[in-house]
Amino acid sequence: MRMNKRVLLLLLPGLLFLAAFMLVPITLTIASTFVQDGKLTLEGYLYFFRDGYFNRILLTTLRVSVVTTLVCMVLGYPAAYYISRASARKKSLLLALSIFPLLTSPVVRSFSWMIILGKKGLINSFLVNTGLIAKPLDILYTPTAMMIGLVHLFLPLIIITLLGVMENLDHELVRAARSLGASPFAAFRKITFPLTVPGLIIGGILVFVGSLTAYTTPALLGGKERVVSTFLYQNAMTLNDWQAASVIAVIMIVITFVVVGLMNAWANRLNPKG
């Protein structure tokens, strides 16, 4: 069907709103990074990529995001598998316990790790009190702290994403494999895992992109350690260098879209159902 007047009228208010308050500002921001003193130039970007400080931040961000994603996959997959096989009551309880953190303020969730990882925090006082170490460890305000916080932030997301995929899995398939002589492990390896890999990748995308662009957690747990998003904030609000902030914004958009595009394509290729 062609789009008729009625449909257009219903969609138009929302579309205009998004155009005015999302599309236009972002487009203008992107455009502004290519212009300096009235001339078309890539200088804004070249400056950044020549700058060792920025490269270090970018590298830290990528490293933190990659590790966070991998840890989330390793922690999330078995847990999701367990939940998907659990009894109905247990399943709905564990589902609720996964969704609750997701809906809880990221400020609250990251703040909780300040209590645990701080100099006088739970871990250090335990280690010092038991005499295992003499001096408290520096965990808070390091990339490690950021990683822990981000894993905590995004683990529920990957669990419920995987759960959605696993719930759709036809368990008759596993039974069929078993009836053909597959051991439980072989059935898992040959049936369950390949059919849930796309979910793992989609969950991975969500975690990776989320970590790459998260602000609250690095701001609270990173201390002086910058990641791209806190660096953007610093340039925009503290240094008032809007040109720099815009360039960082565009870099973030590009990385996000490239990663989402690539991983989506990968997930589609791995999707055995085509």
Subset of residues 224 to 243 that bind other proteins, contact rule: CB under 8 A: 229, 232-233, 236-237, 242
Under DSSP, the state recorded for 140 is T
Nearer to other proteins, 170 or 179 (CB): 170
The token duo for 268 is 């589609």
Least distance in angstroms from the C-beta of 78 to other proteins: 5
Measured distance CA(271)–CA(18) in Å, rounded = 33
Closer to other proteins by Cβ: residue 197 or 236: 236
Nearest approach in angstroms of CB 173 to other proteins is 20
Q: Is 226 in contact with 57 (CB distance < 8 Å)?
A: yes
> Which residue lies nearer to other proteins by CB, 195 or 232?
232
Q: Please report, as residue ranges, which positions from 30 to 89 form the binding site for other proteins (by CB under 8 A).
A: 75-76, 78-79, 81-83
Using a 10 angstrom Cβ sphere, with 0-12 exposed, 13-18 middle and 19 or more buried, the burial of residue 222 is: buried
The yes or no reply on residue 219 touching other proteins (CB under 8 A) is yes
Q: How far is the CB of 213 from other proteins (least distance, A)?
A: 4
- Determine the interface stretch with other proteins among 35-43, 175-183, 188-196, 203-211 (rule: CB under 8 A): 203-211
- The shares of helix, strand and coil residues in the chain, as percent rounded to the nearest 5, are 80, 0, 20
Q: List the structure tokens of 29.
A: 């921001």
Among 98, 192, 196, 211, binds other proteins (CB under 8 A): 98
Specify the DSSP class assigned to residue 22. Answer: I
Near other proteins by CB under 8 A: residue from 31, 42, 53, 92: 92
Output the smallest distance, CB 211 to other proteins, in A. 11
Kindly state whether residue 258 participates in binding other proteins, applying the rule CB under 8 A: no
Q: Measuring CA to CA, how many Å separate 83 from each of 170, 183, 242? A: 15, 21, 47
Dihedrals phi, psi of 10, to nearest 5 degrees? -75, -35
Q: Which of residues 151-180 bind other proteins (CB under 8 A)?
A: 152, 155-156, 159-161, 163-165, 167
From 33-41, 62-70, 92-100, 133-141, span contacting other proteins (CB under 8 A): 92-100
Report which DSSP code applies to 35.
Answer: E
Q: Which of 249, 268, 159 is nearest to 204 (CA)?
A: 159
CB of 3 or CB of 132, closer to other proteins: 3
For residue 39, give the 3-state DSSP assignment. Answer: strand
Show contacts with other proteins in window 7-26 (CB under 8 A).
Answer: 7, 10-11, 13-15, 17-18, 21-22, 24-26
By three-state DSSP, how is residue 8 classified? helix
